[in-house]
Each structure stands twice: as structure tokens, then as C-alpha cells.
Structure 1
Amino acid sequence: MLLSHLETLNILSTPVWIVSAHSQHILFANTAARKLAGNSLLGPLRNGQFSVHSQEPLEAYLPNLKKGDQIVEIWTIHKEGRAFPLSCRLSLAKFGIQEPAIVFEGSHASSASVPVINPFPDETKPYRRDESGFFERFFQTNSAPMLLIAPEDNGQIVDANQAATRFYGYSRDEMCLKHTWEINAMGQDVLPVMHEIARLPGGHKPLTFVHKLADGNLRHVQTYAGPVVVDGTRLMLCIIHDITEQKRLEQELERAALLDPLTGIGNRRQFMQLVENARTQNPQRTHNFSLMLVDADHFKAINDRYGHNKGDDTLVMLARTLETGIRETDTVFRWGGEEFLILLPLTGMEGAMHVAESLRKIVGEQVIPGIPSLTVSVGVAQYETGEDFTSLFKRVDDALYQAKTSGRNRVQAASMKGSVTGEIPPSH
């Protein structure tokens, strides 16, 4: 990264954030951005009270950004005790940054721009349907659900086409008695978002919401909205696409990608995602935990002598044993091969060593028909303030190595420098 290139962005009055598309870390925020949002992490900005976007992982935007498509997100800014929406235009970073990065350019906004909900809006020119007009024919014959909305009238729905009435389950007259916040799961929090969208020139690319149907069902939708003038009345035309099935498939694929296919427990990717989410969204809760690395002793000999099917049975048994043996707050992951990583939140070294020794004994008591009893070696490390994950994992890995070279079937603790601070030899 060429920091000298990025520092030039500080002369801009427009807030600018540069974010890694893969790790979703904020790589740089210019002076205007820091003045507006302080040192806020990306998670609260993208997932706050008024936040709306079409893609959760930022890297999903890359193909469209490379084609030059216009993409907008709405962020939540907290300042002076108030929260308000900020629209951000996305583009690819071109500042000598090696990894794929996205520029978020915020519009000029302030908490004063947040609309106050007025239950008695001033009278405006009413919208009237022209049954014979071109717009009416286009509107009603379109197969996509479409709504006409009056943003200045608290999001009043002034018209709905036939596709929308079928989708939502209301008659046309019933739809026109509702406001957008009554069909949106965000409730009245959608009003500041709607006003922010209405300010965008030419409308916006899709944003994702959850809408409520007449029967109470919730549907994931992407909306395309833009300003229109109908018979002299300024309105917003909103086109709705139901993406519920797409979301379900995406979530199933994401869940599958985070699970080990053999044992059904979380995999390495899930662990890294969990740690990253905790670091970006709850950093105050990530400073007191321990890690435990568990390795099945002589596992290669089991595969070689009894076959890979018995080896797989052994790994499944070990995963189930670790799952049932840990505390409710702990989580076990298959790290790779015959290694399992266990995360112990709010746990110091003494507590982690106690859990590790308990697991070592429980595993030794398990019986798998047709093969000898299994033992495990365990390395334990407590997180040290300011330590990065690479250093922490090296310490726990070194502790496991020491446990194995010291005779296996034992628990070993690591110090900050990776030297041994204590071990629990096997008890018989």
C-alpha cells in the first residue's frame, strides 16, 4: 500500500473510506471520514440501525465494480448522540494497494438531515390515476411488483400494480392505505433511509430489505428506486424483486462452506470468520480467551493398519467426544487432518488447562470397536494483550509439539515466548 497516495485524500471534504474486499478491514479513512464517524469499525457502519446494502461480503461486488456498475450502500453514522444514514458510492481503489480494495465515498450529510416523522404532512398535489395514460398501462402490465411512493408524505404508497398486489396479498386500495414502513421489517427506521435514497441522482442500484406480506410471511427483496414525475407529482418508483430463494441457497452454501463435511463441526474458515467478526464488532470481548489444539496420537498408524474408513470413524468419534466434553461456552473446530482447535472464551490458562486435562481423560475412555483406545496430545495457550493470531497460534502449536515429543497423551501449556510454563503428564 502506498500511504503517501492515500494521504492526499485528506484534502477532500468528502468522507472516504478504503476497505479490503477480502478481509473487510478499513485500510484507510481520510480526515473527513474520521471527523464524521470517528474510528468506527466497518461492522457497525454497514450493519447499523439505518444500514442497507445488496451484498454482505464485499468481494461479491468486485465483478460489477470492474464493469463500472453504479453501486450504493447506506451506512449508519453515530455522532453527537444521534444516528443517521449516509449514502456511500462504491468504486475500485486505484492507489497502489496490492490487495483488492473498495473506495466508499460518502455524500455530504449531517444529523440535521434526518427527517422528523410528521403524522400530518402538508398538503401536496394528490396523485391521480390516469387509466388511459401510457404510464398507467406500463405500470399495470409490468410483471415485476412496482410501487409508487411519496417520500415527502412519510413514505405513503400512492399506487401499486397488479404484480405488487399479488406479491403482498393486499388489494390495490389496501396497499394505497399503507406507508412503506408498514411493509418493511425495519419499521419507521426505513424513513431516513428512504429520504437518503431519494437524494441520490437517478435513483440507486439494488438494495436489500426484508418485506412483510399480508399473511405475516417475511420475504427478502431487492429494490430498485428512482424519482419519477407523474402528472406533475414528484414520486419515487420502486421495483421489487423477490430474492428469498436466492438468499436461502446462499445461506445454505455459506453454512456448508463453514462446516467440516466429515464431522459436521465448524472448520478452519468458520473459526477465522468468528474471530474476525468478534474483532470488528465486539473488540472489547476479545481480550480474555484461550486456545486449545488437540491432536490424535498415532493416527497415521490407525489409517495404515485398519483402513481409512476406521480412521474416519475415529475422527467422528473424537469430534463428538470433544463436543460433549467442552463447556457450553466453548467451541470446537476441525483444524485439519487429525487436529482440532477449541476456542475457550473468557478463560485464563488455569481454566483452559483444567478443561484440556478433562478432555484428555474422556477421550482415553472411549471405545471404537476393532481398534485400540485412542489418546490425544493437547497444547494450550492464553491470549496475551496485543498479540496477533499468528503469534498466538504458533504458541499453541509449539505447545502441542512439545506435548507430542514429550511422550504424547499429555497436556502442555505455552508461555508468550513459546517456552513451556507447565505440563500435565498423563495420570493413570
Structure 2
Amino acid sequence: MCGIDGAGVLDALFSTNAAPILLIDPGRDGAIVDANPRAAVFYGHSRDRLRSLHVWDINQLGRAILPAMREIASWEGGHYPQRFHHRLADGSVRDVQVYAGPIHLGGRKLLLCIIHDITAVIEAEQFNRLLLENVQVGVCGIDRSGAVTFVNPTATSAFGFRHESELIRSHIGRFLFPAFPPGTATGGVRPHPVFRVAEAGEPVRDIETVLYRGDGTSFPVRLTASPIRKNDGIVGVVISFFDLTEEREREAQASDLANALPGAVFQAELHPGGGLRATYFSTAAASLFGVRPDADLTAARTLAPVMAMKGWARVRHGLRQAGRAGRVWEGEMEIAGGRWVLGRAQPRRRSDGTVLFNGVLLDITDRKGLEAELQQAAMHDPLTGVWNRRRFQQAVGEAAARLERYGRPYILALMDIDHFKRFNDTHGHQAGDDALRMVAATLSDRLRRSDALARWGGEEFALLLTETDLPSALGVLEALRQRVSAQRMACGGAVTISIGVGQARAGEDIDSLLQRVDAALYKAKAAGRNRVEQA
């Protein structure tokens, strides 16, 4: 793809600008139309190569950057700074601040992007940024006109967006009022406590209200707003909010429980000497416990098979602790048949010292199943079914701890599907997904239960071999490489993998090991691919 009006258009327009500049066409899926010489130096690509790429080729967000790009392209006038992670030709990633805005050139509406490398600056901001990113409250800032100037990930997610750039410069009224008209000025908005903060300079705290997501749906929040002062003047407002959805749901659940009393009701007595016995169960308990309707549930012989001995021991201990402390007992129990029960009981002390528990038992099997599914989703790659990067890093940390404490060796390998982009371009993205699944399945099929496989990112996989030395690992990995290359895809294509492998050294941190293994992977690819190289 050649640049507009020849290769030198940016040289002529921006020859004196020392910053990298990209010209992007939003109408062609973010294609990079042209780049100045400084951009070629920064990204490590030739200008011709840059003109063959799309913005999602260099942005770590991948194709998820496209909605944000189109949002920026819709802005009128000015270039507004956005922060992204950009990938260079050598595979390294730099933090950049992009000043982007629409321009008209050659009869087309394009996006002019001036790139500033702020990697060094980011380190100085990291503590505050991490604080904002990890707090479980939404935080956003607005200027005096009501335009959003910053927003943390919790707020971005709460408002229903994927990246902060989709919210920057939006009017806060969009999230304070239903069906807020675009472009409405602060003066045209009916009064809201947030706007009064900017006018009066007095904060508002812990007001319960509702906010609105990008799709117009509402959610309850507890909101605090404080003025942002600079040079004795108010320049904006910082807003923090806590999503009350779960809290309201819990309140509703408690109300439903009080009104409908679902599940089984029970009573138990805790005697001063420590003896504990069940004295009553409602008829619903038989169905809940999976016993005959006429069974005597107050008899120990009937209850014993319902739950393992350790489970009953935890229940008895919990009830005794709650009885002595005079507090509510609550516990989750796994019972026969793989079902789960939530128990909750209120203690009441009698004059003779006996504590009477009045409680309810609820079937939470479905909820536990959903929790397990969510846990599975949080730890596994949805496409291939293997572990995701986060779970794999936890496993490597555990292996490193075993090495340090007990001297147990472990192996780390990184694998990359060779020429995956070419495979995708030739056979299509569905075939590419099939290839990723095939590689994951082929590798998983030959591993031990103690080993761990994860999708590290894109077409790259990571493998942890525990209790293994390097010579043994090389044999295993060579066999895996051969097994993958022997597979044939339904599309008629075949894939191979390059592997870098290293054994953890005593006292070596995980990052150093990863760097060694990654270097070995690059060595394998440079040596012709479809091979194993050791660090």
C-alpha cells in the first residue's frame, strides 16, 4: 500500500517534527496510510512496512482498539492525548501518549496521530496509576464544562466500556441522566450535586443515586464528589462511586428469604457442657438431604451419611463458636450427591444456659456450580481451554517456591506457532483458531497431571514441567514438536512450532528465567523454526 500523493507527503508536511507521526484511515479498518521517517525509526519498521500494517498491528489492544479509534475520529477539532501500549518491530512494548485527531487530506477524512514515547515517565506515575486501577471503586475526573478528563478501569467497566479512550471528552451528564442529549452544555443540564461541587467548591459525600451505562441501563451507586483545585481556583471535580448492585441484590435476597422462607427450617440445641443435637427439621429437609420423607432427621444415624465426618465436625465447631459468642452462625456444606447447602441460624440463650439455634437451610448447588464456572473462566483461555497467563504465572510462582525451599527442579518452555500470520492469511481466521486449539490439545494430551500448559498470548504457549531436569525436558519437548508437526488440519494446512526451554537456577527470579527462555525461543526462530533451543 502506498501513501497518499506519494511517499513524501508527511516529509513535506511534518519534516521539522521530531516526533513519530502516523496517518491512519478509520474507514479502512485502521490502515496505516503513511508515516514520517521518525516513526520508521521509532517502530523499527521501514516506511513501506508501516504502510502495510493496521493500527491494531502495533497496538497491544489488537482489534479492540477499533471502537476507540472510531470514537476519536468522530471528534471535531483538536488533538487529545490518549495512552496506549505500542509494539515495536523487535517485539518490545513501549508506553506511548498519542495526540490524535481527524484531518482531511486528499479528499479523505484521516486520523493524524503524533506519538510520544512516555515509557520513562510512566514509571514515575506507576504507583498512583496502580492505586487507581486496583481500588474497587470507580474514579473519574471532569473539567468545569463537565467533560471527562480521566477514568480508572473500574469506572470504565462499570459504564460498559472496554477502554478509557471511549469515555475521555464525553460529557459526564451522559452517565448522570437517562437519555442525555449529546453535546449538551453544563448549563443546560438540570441540577445535579456533582455540578454544584464545581460551582460551590464544597464536596458531597456518600449520596446514594443511580448512574447510567453507555447502553442506557442504570445501576445504583454510593457517590462522593470533591473539587479539584489549582492555583486557588476550581478546575474540575473528581468523582468516586461504589457500585451497590451486589449490596442491593443481597438486601433483596434477605427480604425474599424473610418473606418466603424457602428451603428447610431447623432447630438445634447447644447444652452448657458442649453437647449439640438437632431437635427439629421441616419436611423440606428430607428432599434437600436426599433421604426418605419418613426418615427421622433428628437421629444421628440418619444424618451421618448426609455429609462426610469432616463436614459435620466443621458444622459442630461453627455452631459451638457462634453459641458461645452469641452471634449468627452461617456455613456452606457439601452434602451427599454433590449438592451444596447454605445454613444460617440465629442463637438464643435460655435461662438454663442452653443455646437454641433457629435456622434455615438453602440449596445453593446451582450457585456453587456458577461460581465454579466463573472460576474456570477466570483461570482458562476461552478459545483453547488451557490455562490463561495469570493462572500459569501463579503455578510458576509455586514451582519457584518449591525450588527455593526443597530444591525441586522445574522447566519453563515458551512455544510459538511458526508463520501463524501467514497461516491465518492463507486459510482464514477460523482455521487459525482451529490451529490454536489443535496445538493446545496435542500438547495437553502428552503432559503429566503435574505439568501445566497455558496460552501465553496470541499464538504463543507456555509450558511448565515440574520435577524435571533439562535433558529429560529436551526429549519431551522434541517429541511434542514432532507430534504437532505431524498433525494435519481440516483446511489442508499444517503447522509447526518453535520452542525455547530453560531450567530454573537456584536463586534465579522468574523474570530472569523468562528472559532466558524467550531468548532461546528467538534463537529457535532465527535458526529456521520448527526446532527446540535451550537457554
TM-score range, shorter chain: 0.5 to 0.7
Distance of 2:296 and 2:424 partners within structure 1: 67
From 475, 499, 523, the equivalent of 1:354 is 475
Kept after mapping to 2: 8 A contact 1:142/1:163: no
Q: How far apart are residue 296 of structure 1 and its match? A: 1.0
Which residue number in structure 2 is paired with residue 178 of structure 1? 300
Kept after mapping to 2: 8 A contact 1:160/1:172: no
- The reply on whether 1:259 has 2:380 as its aligned counterpart is yes
Distance of 2:311 and 2:489 partners within structure 1: 55
Which residue number in structure 1 is paired with residue 429 of structure 2? 308
Q: How far apart are residue 294 of structure 1 and its match? A: 0.8
Distance of 2:365 and 2:457 partners within structure 1: 34
Which runs of no fewer than 5 residues in structure 1 stay unpaired? Answer: 1-21, 23-66, 68-138, 415-428
Q: How far apart are residue 300 of structure 1 and its match? A: 0.9
Kept after mapping to 1: 8 A contact 2:392/2:452: no
- The reply on whether 1:195 has 2:316 as its aligned counterpart is no
From 216, 219, 228, the equivalent of 2:348 is 228
Q: How far apart are residue 271 of structure 1 and its match? A: 2.1
Which residue number in structure 2 is paired with residue 129 of structure 1? none
Distance of 2:400 and 2:307 partners within structure 1: 31
1:115-154 superposed matches below 5 A: 142-152=261-271, 154=275
Which residue number in structure 2 is paired with residue 374 of structure 1? 495
Which residue number in structure 1 is paired with residue 463 of structure 2? 342
Distance of 2:430 and 2:263 partners within structure 1: 52
- The reply on whether 1:210 has 2:350 as its aligned counterpart is no
1:310-325 superposed matches below 5 A: 310-325=431-446
Of 194-203 and 223-232, the range deviating more from structure 2: 223-232
Kept after mapping to 2: 8 A contact 1:145/1:241: yes
Rate the CA distance shift 1:323–1:229 in 2: closer, same or farther, 3 A.
closer
Q: Structure 1 counterpart of 2:335, which letter?
A: H
Which runs of no fewer than 5 residues in structure 2 stay unpaired? Answer: 1-133, 135-205, 207-257
Distance of 2:533 and 2:402 partners within structure 1: 32
Q: How far apart are residue 273 of structure 1 and its match? A: 4.5
Distance of 1:319 and 1:188 partners within structure 2: 42
Distance of 2:404 and 2:278 partners within structure 1: 42
Q: Structure 1 counterpart of 2:317, which letter?
A: P
Alignment coverage as a number of residue pairs: 272
Which residue number in structure 2 is paired with residue 219 of structure 1? 339
SS in structure 1 at match of 2:482: helix
Root mean square deviation, CA, Å: 3.5
SS in structure 2 at match of 1:199: helix
From 156, 162, 167, the equivalent of 2:277 is 156
Q: Deviations over 1:173-212 (max 9, x none)?
A: 81222389734433552333332232233224x3212234
User: Which has the higher relative contact order, 1 or 2, with Cα contacts under 8 A spaced 6 or more apart?
Assistant: 1
Kept after mapping to 1: 8 A contact 2:403/2:506: no
Of 274-283 and 381-390, the range deviating more from structure 2: 274-283
Distance of 2:427 and 2:293 partners within structure 1: 68
Which residue number in structure 2 is paired with residue 62 of structure 1? none
From 229, 233, 240, the equivalent of 2:361 is 240
Which has more radius of gyration?
A: 2
Of 392-401 and 280-289, the range deviating more from structure 2: 280-289
Q: How far apart are residue 386 of structure 1 and its match? A: 3.5
Which residue number in structure 2 is paired with residue 98 of structure 1? none
Which residue number in structure 1 is paired with residue 179 of structure 2? none
SS in structure 2 at match of 1:266: coil
Kept after mapping to 2: 8 A contact 1:154/1:179: no
1:7-46 superposed matches below 5 A: none
Which residue number in structure 2 is paired with residue 50 of structure 1? none
Distance of 2:447 and 2:262 partners within structure 1: 54
Q: Deviations over 1:127-154 (max 9, x none)?
A: xxxxxxxxxxxx9x95442222122363
TM-score of the superposed pair, with normalisation by structure 2: 0.45
TM-score of the superposed pair, with normalisation by structure 1: 0.55
